[in-house]
Chain A
Amino acid sequence: MNRVLVWVPLAVFAVLVGFFFRGLDLNPGEQPSALIGKPVPEFLATDLYTGRSLSNKDLPNEAFLLNVWASWCITCQVEHPYLTELSQTLPIVGLNYKDTIPASTNWLAKLGDPYQMQISDPDGRLGLDLGVAGAPETFVVDAQGIIRLKIQGEINDRVYERDIQPILEEFTP
């Protein structure tokens, strides 16, 4: 009996090491979205450039990325070239989050605008309904308008291949 008991501390230690090891590459600030499996929330907003009113009906009828960005967001600038490249094959809708029209349109004029549409959300109202905690955040929306994934932080080819591509393949008929 005692011979077995001697191993208990080691076993407990091993389990703890397992948990801590898993914890090493978990980011507790990154939470799965509460909107996974739900449609994009109903919204009424304006187009950043024209001021024309926009609603859910204006969203693409195919799978797309909804990218939450702002001109004050450094990481948005970092991921911008990759998004530009990605926009050749996948529609990207911009949600200009808590930004001003001059600052954001200047930013786009300087760096280029790969977005299919720019929703202006100056007070973060739509952002709140989407559970956005900061920028950049990117939602993967399928052809039926259902949110399938949320990425917090930079989009690059690693994130695309690891997280976004499998989801797109899974939910594309």
Chain B
Amino acid sequence: MKWLPALAMLLVTFTADAAIETYQFDSGSQEARFRTLTLELRCPKCQNQAIGDSDAEISQDLRAEVYRMLKTGATNNEIKDFMVDRYGRYVLYNPPLDRQTLVLWFGPLIFLLIGAVGLAVRIRRSKQAMDHRNTSA
């Protein structure tokens, strides 16, 4: 019966009580926009969470602001620009492509190219070595 306490512990569950505000939306599409926006905007205080994903006070405030702006008819771009004007590019999880973000977008591609070229050179060399061995044999 040693395993009984262990088994009993499996029955204990922890429920997370996150304070989630309830917002009333005019339409399903407005609610969908709220969800998308709050997952695309990054919490300024917690680098690896979106504002829709974080319980930080500033995230609550920014969610409320997104909601307020949606209600007054702001477009997604207006809301994003509003946040960038105040919190900088950092708040965008999906940064736009421009001169400043060129390396961010194409850096990985450059590394892929370097790898591909290196691989091609190696393959060609080992092929040459094999051909050489075959002809000399």
Contact = CB atoms under 8 A, between A and B. Distances in A.
Contacts of B90: 31
A32 B88 contact: yes
B85 A34 contact: yes
A128 B47 contact: no
A128 B45 CA distance: 13
Interface centre among A35, A128, A130 (most CB of B within 10 A): A128
Interface of A: 28-29, 31-35, 98, 124, 128-131, 133-134
A34 B87 contact: yes
A85 to B, nearest CB: 28
B88 A31 contact: yes
A134 B88 contact: no
A133 B84 CA distance: 13
A33 B88 CA distance: 7
20 contacts: A28-B47, A29-B45, A31-B44, A31-B87, A31-B88, A31-B90, A33-B88, A34-B85, A34-B87, A34-B88, A98-B57, A128-B61, A128-B62, A129-B86, A130-B86, A131-B44, A133-B45, A134-B45, A134-B57, A134-B58
Given A28-B47, A29-B46, A29-B47, A131 B86 contact: yes
Contacts of A133: 44-45, 58, 87
Contacts of B84: 34
Contacts of A28: 47
Contacts, number: 36
Contacts of B61: 124, 128
Contacts of B89: 34
Contacts of B45: 29, 133-134
B53 interface: no
B131 interface: no
B48 to A, nearest CB: 9
Contacts of B44: 31, 131, 133
Contacts of B46: 29
A133 B59 CA distance: 9
Nearest to B62: A128
Interface in B29-67: 44-47, 57-58, 61-62, 65
Contacts of B58: 133-134
A32 B90 CA distance: 9
Interface string B65-85: 100000000000000000011
